[in-house]
Amino acid sequence: MKNNREKVVIKTSIISIISNIVLAAFKAFVGLLANSIAIISDAVNNLSDALSSIITIVGTKIAGKAPDKKHPYGYGRIEYMTSLLVSAIVLYAGITAFIESVKKIIHPGEVDYSNLTLIILVASIIVKFILGIYVKKKGKEVNSDSLVASGSDAFNDAILSISVLASAVVYILFKISIEAYVGALLSIFIIKAGIDLIKESVDNILGVRVESELARSIKKDIVKEEQVQGAFDLILNDYGPDKYLGSIHIEVADTLTVADIDKISRKISKNIIDKYGVILHTIGVYSINTKDKHIMKVQRDIQKIVFSHEGILQMHGFYLDDKAKEISFDIIIDFKVKNREEVYKQIYDEVQKKYKGYHISITLDVDMSD
């Protein structure tokens, strides 16, 4: 699977490189003949696209290296760095196009569009749209942010070429040169696209919330196990596209033995890695009281206290040890609540006041996944 993904990324990038170099050569030739700064800038932009594809290939090859002692989680995250570089190139291309357009507005020059110019521009638009669709589709198929960024850039180039073509038509028909103004306007959109891509790349480097669908699906499959009554606290650490290592807590009855829990944990780990490719290196356990109706009533009473506060997303892992006089459970408070620690303290004080003879242990969990 990993080797197939690498082949797809490299093959797609090579196609993009060849296409952009050919387009850049034709555009540079036509741009010089027509004395068009817009076409020449477009040619330079195509060369930057080829550079982006080269960076994508290098990043994919490095990311495919096997884990070693220094990097036991592998090199997958290097793809997020290359995606950031590609995004920066998109931003640079937009800024450069804007500067050149402004220069052309201040110091306009004579342009000379020919039939060859129009043919090259039309061909460029068609090629770029097809290339954009192809590269972006392949990027989504193999979850490659770098390819998705390159595909988006190809679409931007097609739009830029359309503006140049429109400017050429206006000039031919009315002898009015608007290419510099159109180029400046469209370069702003390219700059915005570059900034958005950079934000996305930085988010991936920092670490983002696991996709809701994936988190819910994993938890749903885990609770399908006959003796598992709940799945909570799913944490997935991303070490590259589709490379997850994580942990989870499961709720099981307090009547199970260690051997029973070990068997359940091993089965869960195997099922999840086979179905999702996710490695659950730790499966923690919450013990559920099943023998005492009084304890179950205490749990319901405490739940009322907890959920009387705004922003409470979840309460789980409840356990009461009557002999040791200990009550423990976890709560999750929404990130939107500014004073999460204060809410936690209020809940703790209210529970402790109601159950004075007990040692209360409340863990404030983080809202890591849906």
Domain containing 114 — which CATH number? 1.20.1510.10
Residue 150 shares a structural domain with residue 274: no
Contacts of 363 (CB under 8 A, 6+ apart): 317, 328, 329, 330, 331
Task: Determine contact, residues 4/109, Cβ cutoff 8 Å.
Answer: no
Residues 6 or more apart from 316 whose CB is under 8 A from it? 230, 232, 233, 249, 251, 286, 329, 330
Confirm if 159 and 189 have CB atoms less than 8 A apart: yes
| Residue ranges for the chain with pLDDT beneath 70 | 1-3, 36-38, 41, 109, 111-112
What value, to the nearest 5°, has the Cα angle with vertex 64 and ends 58 and 69? 115
165 and 81 part of one domain: yes
Shared domain check, 181 and 287: no
Looking at residue 266, what is its pLDDT? 95
Domain endpoint, select from 206, 222, 255: 206
Residue 219 and residue 95 share a domain: no
**Radius of gyration, alpha carbons of the chain:** 29
Query: Does 370 reside within a domain?
Result: no
What does DSSP say about strands 244-253 and 278-288: parallel, antiparallel, or unpaired? Answer: parallel
CA distance 197 to 88: 8
User: How far separated are the first and last CA of the chain, in Å rounded?
Assistant: 27
**Packing angle, helices 179-206 and 145-174, rounded to 10:** 170
Which of 142, 138, 133 shows the shortest CA–CA distance to 240?
Answer: 142
Residues 6+ apart with CB under 8 A from 88: 194, 198
- Residue that finishes a domain, picked among 206, 228, 248: 206
pLDDT value of position 285: 93
The token pair that represents 12 in the structure block: 């797609």
Number of independent structural domains in the chain: 2
pLDDT of 208 reads 84
Asked if residue 254 is part of any domain, the answer here is yes
Sign of the Cα pseudo-torsion (176, 181, 185, 191, in order): positive
Q: Which residue has the tokens 């983080």?
A: 366
Strand-pair category, 278-288 with 312-321: unpaired
Q: Which of 157, 184, 206 is the last residue of a domain?
A: 206
- The CA distance from 190 to 93, in Å, is 8
The phi and psi torsions of 250 (rounded to 5 degrees) equal: -120, 145
The pTM assigned to this predicted structure is: 0.72
Q: How far apart are CA 149 and CA 161, in angstroms?
A: 18
Are 322 and 337 part of one and the same domain? yes
User: What is the domain extent for residue 169?
Assistant: 2-206
